[in-house]
Structure 1
Amino acid sequence: YEALIIGMKLAIKWNIHHVKVIGDSQLIIKQVNDEYKVKDDKLIPYKKLVETLKEYFVHITFEKIPRAQNRSADVM
């Protein structure tokens, strides 16, 4: 969630209104797409912040990709 939130805040700072978020965490992608309920109490504040940040975008989508395809995550 932390990398997602940082990316969303940067997009807001740079006035980017249309975003496609690509990530390899099935849990996070499904939670932010409301396909999974957030059960871990530690993750609830992160999910709430993502929901708040989503309102700044005209269009934002979240897509799951296989871990092997997510080289940018390896750099972080």
Structure 2
Amino acid sequence: MGAGTGIILVSPEGHHLMSVIHFKFYAMNNDAEYEALINGLNIALEMRVRNLIAKSDSELVVNQVNGGFQARVPMAELYLRYAQRLLNFFNEVRLECVPREKNSNEDALAKMGSQ
């Protein structure tokens, strides 16, 4: 049907900025997870955010970016290098894995993006 991703940025004051992205290309699940991370980082940089806690329900992506897992698929290697390059623009950034059930709002946005 389609692929998409949902991103929610939350300010320290609790304000929410939601973004839905529809892909005009075929995306595997891990590709969509990397697209969410990369697009979220780009939005945060555009907003001049310098300290960030990023959360994802993709254990694979979180562990690859944090250095615990190797990216063995060529596309994942490209996504990983690009995400790491973006992370260098932040003063402080922490990437955390959250259970899928705690990521339901983002999943709902991703479903909208896939339509």
TM-score range for the pair, normalised by the shorter chain length: over 0.9
TM norm structure 1: 0.95
SS in 1 for 2:44: helix
Structure showing greater Rg? 2
The TM-score normalised by the length of structure 2 is: 0.64
Structure 1 gap ranges (5+): none
Q: Count matched residues.
A: 76
Per-residue deviation, residues 13-44 of structure 1 (Å, max 9, x unmatched): 00000000011000000000000010111111
Question: What is the deviation of 1:72?
Answer: 2.7
2:44 pairs with 3, 11, 19, which one? 11
AA aligned to 1:64 is C
Instruction: Supply the distance in 2 between the matched residues of 1:72 and 1:57 (Cα, whole angstroms).
Output: 25
Amino acid aligned to 1:7: G
The structure where strand makes up a greater share of residues is: 2
SS of 1:21 mapped into structure 2: strand
The alignment's C-alpha RMSD in Å is: 0.7
> Runs of 4+ in structure 1 displaced over 4 angstroms?
none
